[in-house]
Amino acid sequence: MKILATLGPASRDRETIAMLLRRGADAFRVNMSHGDHATHAETIANIRAVEKDLARPVAILCDLQGPKLRVGTFADGKVLLQHGAHFTFDRNPAPGDATRVRLPHPELFGLLQNGQRLLVDDGKLRLVVIRPEADSILCTVEVGGMISDRKGVNVPDAIIPVPALTEKDRRDLAFAMEQHADWIGLSFVQRPEDLAEARRLMGGRGALMAKIEKPAAITTLDEIIEMADGIMVARGDLGVELNPEEVPPLQKRIIEKTRACGKPVVVATQMLESMITSPSPTRAEVSDVANAVYDGADAVMLSAETAAGQWPVEAVTIMDRIAAQVEQDSTYRTRIRLAETPADATTADALSASCATIADTMPIEGIVIFTGSGSSLRRVARERPAAPMLVLTPSQKTARRMALLWGAHTVTTRDIGSFEEMIAKGKRFALRHGFGAAGSRLIMLAGVPFGVPGSTNLLHVVTLTGNELDTPN
């Protein structure tokens, strides 16, 4: 299990980043919703400096804000909406009051219908449309409360015709590409087409992670997974627009479908929320993290806990301890194998599945995977083998990107040119990185001819003597 930690004011200095990596973090999220490009550039530079110091590939995910809907402002900054009262969203730019406020999203006028819901401030307030018109939307307040300037609005009963990328997102995406971000998080994905523009602007650089946080995305989930490089179960907004009891089974379904496609899946939002202010989590939060590990997610994510919380290092430490405890459970292996991951009718898929079978049948200390693009690793990782994976790649880009995958320890090294070199280098690096000792067996997976992407066709089992010459790369 990998840990994706969000960096912010509480954690973006080099010393804290190094501590987070030593305590269990594997990748870092840069939240483009907050801060400016100069601050983000400094954060990314700090990550890369620590990465060099620790000689360990680290994945960076730049998370785009996306088209968040928000109300306008109020004359007094906030008002109290009474249960059962009428309230109007309109196009009038004047400050709002207890009867109305501007809704600066013209695409919603003419779209909403009677009976559809508007959820304000992460669902704390709920209104129902009773008279939609060209310039105003009259609602009844079902659940009242305080509403203040620029609070977010969710519309769970309609697909909103807004582009997946705002102008801010385009600027942030260009910045992330200049900074060589490994992953881009695309927020509020509603349909497969939402991924197209981001793909075009990325130009083959980096990997694209679709964030599932809109109910509309569930109807085309298979297509979204197919078009994305990875999936994030963003339970914050998803939990606002769905009934709370619907989220856990949906989380399991998304994890299972994404794993079956051999792509990384991250579970995010409110995992150790109480640790923003407390040095220890609640028991319910511990169970939540543990369930994501039992489900076979590739990574779990910390948000404000590490970005702005009082205990960022402790949050990572505890999350790592939870994952380690689950992975030692005698039922863990059975549970993560409950999801079906049928192999395609290819040599590469057959050999990747065989790695897991061999590791189940005989004592295997590690699976050494030689890969250029990371495709071999993705195939093996989706099987959740009983042995850890040592990934040797000549591509720094691949090593960093694959740092988010379940069970993968990535190392950048020169490519191999022969079978003999594969065996010698695989043994040498296994010893160097703690994958076994004298007498340990390893599986080696590669492709011939060497250096050709997508040619995985070689599986070999070797035994370490413990005396392999530890020559330079």
Q: Quote the longest CA-to-CA distance of the chain.
A: 80
**Number of domains making up the chain:** 3
φ/ψ of 435, rounded to 5, equals: -95, 70
Q: Shortest CA distance to 267 belongs to which of 12, 31, 3?
A: 3
Give me the DSSP letters along 362-386.
S---EEEEE-SSSHHHHHHHTT--S
Judge whether residue 301 has pLDDT over 90.
Answer: yes
Ordered strands of the 136-143 beta sheet: 69-70, 152-154, 117-120, 125-132, 136-143, 86-90, 100-102
Q: What's the CA gap between 229 and 76, in Å, rounded? A: 45
Q: What's the CA gap between 209 and 63, in Å, rounded? A: 9
Whether residues 25 and 169 fall in one domain: yes
| pLDDT confidence of residue 19 | 98
Whether residues 384 and 255 fall in one domain: no
Owner of token pair 């000689």 = 55
Q: Is residue 93 classed exposed, middle or buried when 0-12, 13-18 and 19+ CB atoms within 10 A define those classes?
A: exposed
Q: What's the CA gap between 263 and 252, in Å, rounded? A: 15
More confident residue, 341 or 123: 123
Mean pLDDT value across residues 266-292: 97
What pLDDT digit, counting tens, does each position of 70-122 carry? 999 999 999 999 999 999 999 999 999 999 999 999 989 989 999 999 999 98
Question: Which of 109, 127, 154 is the endpoint of a domain?
Answer: 154
| pLDDT confidence of residue 451 | 74
Parent domain of 258: 2-66+163-333
Question: Which of 154, 179, 206 is the endpoint of a domain?
Answer: 154
Whether residues 313 and 275 fall in one domain: yes
Judge whether residue 137 has pLDDT over 60.
Answer: yes
Cα torsion 392, 397, 403, 406: sign? negative
Provide the whole-model pTM: 0.92
Q: What's the CA gap between 469 and 425, in Å, rounded? A: 9
Mean pLDDT value across residues 318-329: 97
Distances (CA, A) of 304 to 8, 60, 437: 8, 17, 41
Q: Are 11 and 20 in contact (CB under 8 A)?
A: yes
| pLDDT confidence of residue 56 | 95
Whether residues 31 and 178 fall in one domain: yes
| pLDDT confidence of residue 469 | 52
| pLDDT confidence of residue 471 | 55
Whether residues 246 and 116 fall in one domain: no
For the chain, give the mean pLDDT.
94
| Active-site amino acid positions | 29, 70, 211, 269
Judge whether residue 452 has pLDDT over 80.
Answer: no
Is 339 within a domain? no
| pLDDT confidence of residue 159 | 84
Alpha-carbon radius of gyration of the chain: 24
| pLDDT confidence of residue 384 | 94
Whether residues 53 and 201 fall in one domain: yes
In sequence order, the 6+-apart residues with CB closer than 8 A to the CB of 17 are 7, 11, 28, 46, 47, 50
